[in-house]
Protein backbone atom coordinates (compact mmCIF):
# COMPACT_ATOMS: atom_id res chain seq x y z
CA UNK A 1 0.00 0.00 0.00
CA UNK A 2 1.15 3.55 -0.67
CA UNK A 3 2.15 5.86 2.19
CA UNK A 4 -0.93 7.91 1.37
CA UNK A 5 -3.10 4.82 1.73
CA UNK A 6 -1.37 3.92 5.01
CA UNK A 7 -1.90 7.40 6.43
CA UNK A 8 -5.55 7.46 5.35
CA UNK A 9 -6.09 4.06 6.95
CA UNK A 10 -4.64 5.35 10.22
CA UNK A 11 -6.80 8.48 9.99
CA UNK A 12 -9.89 6.38 9.38
CA UNK A 13 -9.14 4.24 12.45
CA UNK A 14 -8.67 7.44 14.43
CA UNK A 15 -12.04 8.66 13.23
CA UNK A 16 -13.75 5.43 14.30
CA UNK A 17 -12.03 5.64 17.71
CA UNK A 18 -13.03 9.29 18.05
CA UNK A 19 -16.73 8.39 17.93
CA UNK A 20 -16.30 6.25 21.04
CA UNK A 21 -13.97 8.70 22.77
CA UNK A 22 -16.40 11.59 22.22
CA UNK A 23 -18.97 9.71 24.32
CA UNK A 24 -16.53 8.73 27.09
CA UNK A 25 -17.12 10.19 30.54
CA UNK A 26 -14.55 12.31 32.33
CA UNK A 27 -13.99 9.39 34.73
CA UNK A 28 -12.98 7.06 31.90
CA UNK A 29 -10.71 9.64 30.31
CA UNK A 30 -9.01 10.45 33.63
CA UNK A 31 -8.54 6.72 34.31
CA UNK A 32 -6.80 6.43 30.97
CA UNK A 33 -4.58 9.45 31.67
CA UNK A 34 -3.55 8.21 35.12
CA UNK A 35 -2.98 4.74 33.69
CA UNK A 36 -0.79 6.22 30.97
CA UNK A 37 1.27 8.06 33.58
CA UNK A 38 1.84 4.89 35.60
CA UNK A 39 2.56 2.81 32.51
CA UNK A 40 5.17 5.28 31.26
CA UNK A 41 7.06 4.94 34.54
CA UNK A 42 6.59 1.17 34.65
CA UNK A 43 7.94 0.91 31.09
CA UNK A 44 10.77 3.35 31.56
CA UNK A 45 13.40 0.72 30.69
CA UNK A 46 11.91 0.04 27.26
CA UNK A 47 11.26 3.71 26.55
CA UNK A 48 14.77 4.77 27.57
CA UNK A 49 16.30 1.92 25.53
CA UNK A 50 14.32 2.98 22.46
CA UNK A 51 15.39 6.55 23.08
CA UNK A 52 19.03 5.49 23.35
CA UNK A 53 18.73 4.07 19.82
CA UNK A 54 17.47 7.43 18.53
CA UNK A 55 20.14 9.35 20.38
CA UNK A 56 22.86 7.00 19.13
CA UNK A 57 21.71 7.38 15.53
CA UNK A 58 21.51 11.16 15.88
CA UNK A 59 25.00 11.39 17.35
CA UNK A 60 26.43 9.07 14.71
CA UNK A 61 25.00 11.26 11.96
CA UNK A 62 26.57 14.39 13.46
CA UNK A 63 23.38 16.04 14.76
CA UNK A 64 24.14 19.26 16.70
CA UNK A 65 24.37 18.79 20.45
CA UNK A 66 21.39 21.05 21.25
CA UNK A 67 19.13 18.95 19.00
CA UNK A 68 20.44 15.73 20.53
CA UNK A 69 19.67 17.23 23.92
CA UNK A 70 16.05 17.84 22.95
CA UNK A 71 15.82 14.28 21.71
CA UNK A 72 17.27 12.72 24.85
CA UNK A 73 14.97 11.23 27.51
CA UNK A 74 16.11 10.76 31.08
CA UNK A 75 14.34 9.29 34.12
CA UNK A 76 13.63 12.90 35.17
CA UNK A 77 12.11 13.77 31.83
CA UNK A 78 9.97 10.62 31.93
CA UNK A 79 8.81 11.64 35.40
CA UNK A 80 7.87 15.05 34.05
CA UNK A 81 5.90 13.44 31.19
CA UNK A 82 4.02 11.25 33.68
CA UNK A 83 3.38 14.26 35.92
CA UNK A 84 2.05 16.19 32.92
CA UNK A 85 -0.47 13.43 32.19
CA UNK A 86 -1.58 13.43 35.84
CA UNK A 87 -2.06 17.18 35.77
CA UNK A 88 -4.24 16.93 32.66
CA UNK A 89 -6.31 14.31 34.49
CA UNK A 90 -6.82 16.87 37.26
CA UNK A 91 -8.17 19.57 34.93
CA UNK A 92 -11.91 19.99 34.36
CA UNK A 93 -13.37 18.28 31.29
CA UNK A 94 -14.05 20.92 28.61
CA UNK A 95 -16.49 18.61 26.79
CA UNK A 96 -20.13 19.32 27.59
CA UNK A 97 -19.57 22.82 28.92
CA UNK A 98 -22.55 25.00 28.02
CA UNK A 99 -21.05 28.01 26.27
CA UNK A 100 -24.31 29.84 25.81
CA UNK A 101 -27.94 29.01 26.29
CA UNK A 102 -31.34 30.61 26.16
CA UNK A 103 -35.00 29.90 25.61
CA UNK A 104 -36.19 31.43 22.36
CA UNK A 105 -39.41 33.42 22.03
CA UNK A 106 -41.22 30.36 20.61
CA UNK A 107 -40.18 28.18 23.55
CA UNK A 108 -37.32 26.35 21.82
CA UNK A 109 -34.43 25.69 24.19
CA UNK A 110 -31.08 26.61 22.66
CA UNK A 111 -27.75 25.45 24.08
CA UNK A 112 -24.30 25.80 22.56
CA UNK A 113 -22.12 23.07 24.06
CA UNK A 114 -18.45 22.17 23.81
CA UNK A 115 -17.70 19.02 21.84
CA UNK A 116 -14.44 17.41 20.73
CA UNK A 117 -13.05 18.24 17.28
CA UNK A 118 -12.88 14.52 16.46
CA UNK A 119 -9.43 13.76 15.04
CA UNK A 120 -6.45 16.04 15.61
CA UNK A 121 -3.20 15.73 13.67
CA UNK A 122 0.00 16.93 15.34
CA UNK A 123 3.19 17.53 13.35
CA UNK A 124 6.20 18.26 15.53
CA UNK A 125 9.93 18.05 15.83
CA UNK A 126 12.45 16.11 17.81
CA UNK A 127 11.20 16.33 21.43
CA UNK A 128 9.66 12.95 22.32
CA UNK A 129 7.98 14.44 25.43
CA UNK A 130 5.55 16.22 23.08
CA UNK A 131 4.23 12.76 22.16
CA UNK A 132 2.83 12.17 25.64
CA UNK A 133 1.82 15.80 26.24
CA UNK A 134 -0.15 16.07 23.01
CA UNK A 135 -1.77 12.66 23.42
CA UNK A 136 -2.87 13.56 26.95
CA UNK A 137 -4.37 16.93 26.05
CA UNK A 138 -6.12 15.55 22.97
CA UNK A 139 -7.54 12.62 24.90
CA UNK A 140 -8.88 14.77 27.72
CA UNK A 141 -10.61 17.03 25.16
CA UNK A 142 -12.14 13.91 23.59
CA UNK A 143 -10.04 13.90 20.43
CA UNK A 144 -8.29 10.98 18.80
CA UNK A 145 -4.77 12.08 17.92
CA UNK A 146 -2.51 11.28 14.98
CA UNK A 147 1.08 11.96 15.95
CA UNK A 148 3.68 12.74 13.30
CA UNK A 149 6.90 13.38 15.18
CA UNK A 150 10.35 13.76 13.75
CA UNK A 151 11.84 10.67 12.13
CA UNK A 152 14.86 11.15 14.39
CA UNK A 153 12.61 10.30 17.36
CA UNK A 154 10.80 7.39 15.76
CA UNK A 155 12.02 4.64 18.12
CA UNK A 156 11.20 6.76 21.18
CA UNK A 157 7.79 7.76 19.81
CA UNK A 158 6.95 4.19 18.85
CA UNK A 159 7.75 2.98 22.36
CA UNK A 160 5.84 5.81 24.05
CA UNK A 161 2.78 5.43 21.83
CA UNK A 162 2.67 1.69 22.46
CA UNK A 163 2.61 2.34 26.21
CA UNK A 164 -0.14 4.98 25.84
CA UNK A 165 -2.27 2.74 23.61
CA UNK A 166 -2.07 -0.17 26.02
CA UNK A 167 -3.10 2.10 28.88
CA UNK A 168 -6.05 3.43 26.86
CA UNK A 169 -7.30 -0.11 26.28
CA UNK A 170 -6.81 -0.89 29.96
CA UNK A 171 -9.19 2.00 30.76
CA UNK A 172 -11.77 0.73 28.27
CA UNK A 173 -11.00 3.08 25.38
CA UNK A 174 -10.01 2.04 21.85
CA UNK A 175 -6.24 1.83 21.31
CA UNK A 176 -6.63 4.00 18.22
CA UNK A 177 -7.35 7.13 20.26
CA UNK A 178 -3.54 7.50 20.05
CA UNK A 179 -1.71 6.60 16.85
CA UNK A 180 1.61 7.28 15.23
CA UNK A 181 1.44 8.39 11.61
CA UNK A 182 3.39 5.92 9.47
CA UNK A 183 6.22 6.97 7.21
CA UNK A 184 9.31 9.12 7.69
CA UNK A 185 9.18 11.14 4.50
CA UNK A 186 7.42 14.37 3.60
CA UNK A 187 4.93 12.14 1.74
CA UNK A 188 3.42 11.04 5.01
CA UNK A 189 3.10 14.64 6.25
CA UNK A 190 1.54 15.50 2.92
CA UNK A 191 -0.96 12.66 3.14
CA UNK A 192 -1.96 13.91 6.60
CA UNK A 193 -2.41 17.44 5.27
CA UNK A 194 -4.70 16.15 2.50
CA UNK A 195 -6.84 13.89 4.71
CA UNK A 196 -9.72 16.38 4.72
CA UNK A 197 -12.88 14.78 6.06
CA UNK A 198 -10.86 12.29 8.13
CA UNK A 199 -8.73 14.75 10.11
CA UNK A 200 -10.54 17.73 11.63
CA UNK A 201 -7.64 19.96 12.65
CA UNK A 202 -3.91 19.95 12.02
CA UNK A 203 -1.47 21.59 14.43
CA UNK A 204 2.08 22.01 13.18
CA UNK A 205 4.60 22.75 15.90
CA UNK A 206 8.00 23.70 14.67
CA UNK A 207 9.95 26.24 12.69
CA UNK A 208 8.65 28.77 10.21
CA UNK A 209 9.47 26.45 7.28
CA UNK A 210 7.29 23.60 8.54
CA UNK A 211 4.43 25.95 9.31
CA UNK A 212 4.61 27.65 5.93
CA UNK A 213 4.58 24.32 4.13
CA UNK A 214 1.53 23.14 6.10
CA UNK A 215 -0.33 26.40 5.47
CA UNK A 216 0.46 26.18 1.75
CA UNK A 217 -0.39 22.54 1.21
CA UNK A 218 -3.01 21.55 3.77
CA UNK A 219 -6.67 21.17 2.88
CA UNK A 220 -7.31 20.18 6.51
CA UNK A 221 -7.95 23.27 8.65
CA UNK A 222 -4.72 24.36 10.37
CA UNK A 223 -3.92 26.11 13.62
CA UNK A 224 -0.67 27.95 13.00
CA UNK A 225 1.62 28.03 16.03
CA UNK A 226 4.65 29.39 17.57
CA UNK A 227 6.67 31.71 15.35
CA UNK A 228 7.51 34.61 17.62
CA UNK A 229 9.26 37.80 16.57
CA UNK A 230 8.39 39.43 19.89
CA UNK A 231 9.05 43.13 20.62
CA UNK A 232 9.70 45.08 23.78
CA UNK A 233 8.97 48.81 23.45
CA UNK A 234 10.52 51.00 26.12
CA UNK A 235 8.49 54.20 26.24
CA UNK A 236 9.70 57.69 27.20
CA UNK A 237 7.68 57.30 30.41
CA UNK A 238 9.15 53.92 31.33
CA UNK A 239 10.59 53.07 34.72
CA UNK A 240 14.07 52.37 33.40
CA UNK A 241 14.97 49.81 36.05
CA UNK A 242 11.84 47.84 35.21
CA UNK A 243 12.59 48.25 31.52
CA UNK A 244 16.11 46.88 31.90
CA UNK A 245 14.95 43.89 33.92
CA UNK A 246 12.19 43.12 31.44
CA UNK A 247 14.45 43.37 28.38
CA UNK A 248 17.09 41.15 29.98
CA UNK A 249 14.55 38.58 31.11
CA UNK A 250 12.69 38.55 27.80
CA UNK A 251 15.90 38.13 25.79
CA UNK A 252 18.13 35.95 27.93
CA UNK A 253 15.95 33.82 30.25
CA UNK A 254 15.63 31.19 27.54
CA UNK A 255 16.56 31.99 23.96
CA UNK A 256 15.14 29.03 22.04
CA UNK A 257 11.47 29.69 22.86
CA UNK A 258 8.86 31.52 20.83
CA UNK A 259 8.06 34.04 23.59
CA UNK A 260 11.64 35.30 23.89
CA UNK A 261 12.13 38.92 22.82
CA UNK A 262 13.80 39.33 19.44
CA UNK A 263 13.53 43.08 18.98
CA UNK A 264 13.91 46.14 21.20
CA UNK A 265 12.32 49.52 20.44
CA UNK A 266 13.34 52.52 22.52
CA UNK A 267 11.74 55.97 22.58
CA UNK A 268 13.98 58.75 21.20
CA UNK A 269 13.89 60.62 24.52
CA UNK A 270 15.92 57.76 25.99
CA UNK A 271 18.71 57.79 23.40
CA UNK A 272 21.24 59.24 25.81
CA UNK A 273 20.05 57.45 28.94
CA UNK A 274 18.55 54.02 28.39
CA UNK A 275 20.24 53.09 25.11
CA UNK A 276 23.81 52.98 26.46
CA UNK A 277 22.61 51.29 29.64
CA UNK A 278 20.70 48.52 27.86
CA UNK A 279 23.48 47.95 25.32
CA UNK A 280 25.98 47.50 28.15
CA UNK A 281 23.71 45.14 30.08
CA UNK A 282 22.84 43.06 27.02
CA UNK A 283 26.46 42.86 25.95
CA UNK A 284 27.49 41.76 29.43
CA UNK A 285 24.85 39.05 29.27
CA UNK A 286 26.43 37.78 26.05
CA UNK A 287 23.81 39.23 23.69
CA UNK A 288 24.77 40.58 20.27
CA UNK A 289 22.80 43.74 19.51
CA UNK A 290 21.91 44.45 15.87
CA UNK A 291 20.97 48.11 16.00
CA UNK A 292 20.13 51.24 14.02
CA UNK A 293 22.53 54.23 13.91
CA UNK A 294 21.69 55.31 17.47
CA UNK A 295 22.52 51.88 18.81
CA UNK A 296 25.45 51.25 16.46
CA UNK A 297 27.22 54.22 18.02
CA UNK A 298 28.12 51.88 20.87
CA UNK A 299 30.91 49.31 20.88
CA UNK A 300 29.99 45.82 19.81
CA UNK A 301 26.64 46.76 18.24
CA UNK A 302 26.30 45.49 14.66
CA UNK A 303 24.33 47.49 12.10
CA UNK A 304 20.79 46.12 11.64
CA UNK A 305 19.07 45.44 8.33
CA UNK A 306 15.36 44.80 7.67
CA UNK A 307 16.25 41.10 7.81
CA UNK A 308 17.33 41.60 11.40
CA UNK A 309 14.09 43.35 12.28
CA UNK A 310 12.16 40.47 10.70
CA UNK A 311 14.27 37.73 12.32
CA UNK A 312 13.20 35.25 14.97
CA UNK A 313 16.76 34.69 16.16
CA UNK A 314 16.12 32.10 18.89
CA UNK A 315 19.64 32.92 20.02
CA UNK A 316 21.57 35.51 22.02
CA UNK A 317 20.87 38.17 19.39
CA UNK A 318 18.45 41.08 19.44
CA UNK A 319 17.56 43.74 16.91
CA UNK A 320 17.14 47.26 18.25
CA UNK A 321 16.11 50.69 17.09
CA UNK A 322 15.05 54.08 18.33
CA UNK A 323 11.52 55.28 17.51
CA UNK A 324 10.09 58.77 17.80
CA UNK A 325 6.78 57.91 19.42
CA UNK A 326 4.51 55.09 20.53
CA UNK A 327 2.82 55.34 17.13
CA UNK A 328 6.16 54.77 15.42
CA UNK A 329 6.70 51.76 17.66
CA UNK A 330 3.26 50.46 16.66
CA UNK A 331 4.05 51.02 12.97
CA UNK A 332 7.36 49.15 13.32
CA UNK A 333 5.58 46.25 15.05
CA UNK A 334 2.87 46.14 12.37
CA UNK A 335 5.58 45.85 9.76
CA UNK A 336 7.80 43.22 11.34
CA UNK A 337 5.91 41.34 14.05
CA UNK A 338 4.78 37.73 13.67
CA UNK A 339 1.73 38.55 15.82
CA UNK A 340 2.84 36.49 18.83
CA UNK A 341 3.65 38.81 21.77
CA UNK A 342 4.63 42.43 22.22
CA UNK A 343 5.36 44.31 25.43
CA UNK A 344 5.39 47.97 26.37
CA UNK A 345 7.19 49.40 29.40
CA UNK A 346 5.60 52.68 30.47
CA UNK A 347 4.15 54.47 33.50
CA UNK A 348 1.84 56.48 31.27
CA UNK A 349 -1.71 55.16 31.27
CA UNK A 350 -2.78 56.76 27.99
CA UNK A 351 0.29 55.43 26.17
CA UNK A 352 -0.31 51.94 27.54
CA UNK A 353 -3.96 52.07 26.40
CA UNK A 354 -2.93 53.24 22.94
CA UNK A 355 -0.35 50.45 22.58
CA UNK A 356 -2.72 47.75 23.84
CA UNK A 357 -5.51 48.87 21.51
CA UNK A 358 -3.42 49.31 18.38
CA UNK A 359 -1.02 46.37 18.57
CA UNK A 360 -2.66 43.38 16.91
CA UNK A 361 -0.86 40.39 18.44
CA UNK A 362 -2.00 37.30 20.31
CA UNK A 363 -0.70 38.81 23.57
CA UNK A 364 0.07 42.40 24.47
CA UNK A 365 1.85 42.96 27.79
CA UNK A 366 2.19 46.10 29.84
CA UNK A 367 5.18 46.29 32.19
CA UNK A 368 5.84 42.56 32.05
CA UNK A 369 8.20 40.23 30.20
CA UNK A 370 7.16 38.60 26.90
CA UNK A 371 8.06 35.28 28.55
CA UNK A 372 4.68 35.27 30.32
CA UNK A 373 2.82 34.31 27.14
CA UNK A 374 2.52 30.66 28.07
CA UNK A 375 -0.35 28.32 28.91
CA UNK A 376 1.28 27.37 32.20
CA UNK A 377 1.82 31.01 33.24
CA UNK A 378 -1.75 31.88 32.18
CA UNK A 379 -3.04 29.13 34.46
CA UNK A 380 -4.41 26.84 31.74
CA UNK A 381 -2.79 23.81 33.36
CA UNK A 382 -1.68 22.37 30.05
CA UNK A 383 -0.67 23.84 26.72
CA UNK A 384 -0.56 22.26 23.29
CA UNK A 385 1.05 25.26 21.57
CA UNK A 386 0.67 28.98 21.05
CA UNK A 387 -1.55 30.00 18.17
CA UNK A 388 -0.39 32.97 16.12
CA UNK A 389 -3.45 32.98 13.89
CA UNK A 390 -6.70 34.79 14.48
CA UNK A 391 -9.12 31.99 13.62
CA UNK A 392 -10.42 29.74 16.41
CA UNK A 393 -7.67 30.15 18.99
CA UNK A 394 -5.16 32.92 19.53
CA UNK A 395 -2.32 32.75 22.03
CA UNK A 396 -1.66 29.82 24.38
CA UNK A 397 -4.00 26.88 23.68
CA UNK A 398 -5.24 24.72 26.53
CA UNK A 399 -7.99 22.13 26.70
CA UNK A 400 -10.77 24.56 25.78
CA UNK A 401 -9.03 25.48 22.54
CA UNK A 402 -8.92 21.80 21.58
CA UNK A 403 -12.70 21.66 21.29
CA UNK A 404 -15.39 22.82 18.92
CA UNK A 405 -19.02 23.50 19.81
CA UNK A 406 -22.40 22.41 18.58
CA UNK A 407 -25.89 23.80 19.02
CA UNK A 408 -28.51 21.59 20.65
CA UNK A 409 -32.07 22.80 20.12
CA UNK A 410 -34.97 21.15 21.93
CA UNK A 411 -38.65 21.66 21.20
CA UNK A 412 -41.89 19.77 21.30
CA UNK A 413 -42.87 19.53 17.69
CA UNK A 414 -41.81 23.08 16.74
CA UNK A 415 -42.18 24.10 13.12
CA UNK A 416 -42.48 27.85 13.82
Q: Any idea of the CA torsion for 22, 27, 29, 33, to the nearest 10 degrees? A: 170
Shortest Cβ distance from residue 73 to a second copy (Å)? 28
Cβ at position 415, least distance to a second copy in Å: 4
Whichever of 151 and 367 has its CB closer to a second copy, that residue is 367
Query: In the complex with a second copy, which residue's Cβ is closer, 52 or 215?
Result: 215
Q: How far is the CB of 13 from a second copy (least distance, A)?
A: 15
298 vs 372, which CB is nearer to a second copy?
A: 372
Q: Please, which residue, 160 or 345, has the CB nearer to a second copy?
A: 345
Q: How far is the CB of 273 from a second copy (least distance, A)?
A: 17
Among 360, 308, 368, residue whose Cα is nearest residue 339? 360
**HEC string of 264-297?**
EEEEHHHCCCHHHHHHHHHHHCCCEEEECHHHHC
Which CB, 129 or 389, lies closer to a second copy?
A: 389
- Minimum CB–partner distance for residue 215 and a second copy (Å): 6
d(CA 132, CA 139): 10
Provide the binding-site residues for a second copy, judged by CB under 8 A.
Answer: 19, 22-23, 102, 104-105, 108, 110, 112, 115, 117-118, 196, 200-201, 215-216, 219, 221-223, 239, 241-242, 245-246, 249, 253, 334, 345, 352, 356-358, 360-369, 371-373, 377-379, 389-392, 394-396, 404-416
Say how far apart CA 238 and CA 9 lie, in whole Å. 58
User: Residues 6 or more apart from 61 whose CB is under 8 A from it?
Assistant: none
Query: How many Cβ atoms are within 10 Å of 267's Cβ, its own excluded?
Result: 24
Q: How far is the CB of 368 from a second copy (least distance, A)?
A: 4
- Give the long-range contacts of residues 98-104, CB within 8 A, separation 24 or more: 99/405
Q: Min. distance of Cβ 360 from a second copy in angstroms?
A: 7
- How many Å is the Cα radius of gyration of the chain? 24
Q: How many CA atoms lie within 13 A of 356 on its CB side?
A: 12
- Distance of closest approach, residue 200 Cβ to a second copy, in angstroms: 5
Decide whether 38 or 405 has the Cβ nearer to a second copy. Answer: 405
Between 49 and 108, name the residue whose CB sits nearer to a second copy. Answer: 108
Minimum CB–partner distance for residue 369 and a second copy (Å): 5
For a second copy, the closer of residues 134 and 211 by Cβ is 211
Nearer to a second copy, 25 or 74 (CB): 25
Sheet holding 119-123, edge to edge: 178-180, 144-148, 119-123, 201-204
**Residues 15-20: contacts with CB under 8 Å, at least 24 apart:** 15/118, 15/119, 15/144, 15/198, 16/174, 16/176, 17/144, 17/173, 17/174, 17/175, 17/176, 17/177, 18/116, 18/118, 18/119, 18/142, 18/143, 18/144, 18/177, 20/173, 20/174
Shortest spacing between CB 245 and a second copy, in angstroms: 5
Cα–Cα nearest to 366, from 227, 238, 228, 229:
238
Cβ-based nearer residue to a second copy, 235 or 292: 235
Amino acid sequence: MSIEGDVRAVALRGREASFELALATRATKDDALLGMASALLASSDQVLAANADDVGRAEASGTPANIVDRLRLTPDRLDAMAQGLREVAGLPDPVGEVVRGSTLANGLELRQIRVPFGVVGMIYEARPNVTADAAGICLKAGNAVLLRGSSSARSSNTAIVQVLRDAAVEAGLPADVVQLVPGDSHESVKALMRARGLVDVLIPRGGAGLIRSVVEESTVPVIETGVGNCHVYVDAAADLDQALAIVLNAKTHRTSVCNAAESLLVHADLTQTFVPRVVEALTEAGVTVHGDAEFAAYDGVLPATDDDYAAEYLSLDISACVVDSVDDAIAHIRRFSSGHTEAIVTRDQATARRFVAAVDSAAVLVNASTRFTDGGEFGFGAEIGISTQKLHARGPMGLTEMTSTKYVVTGDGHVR
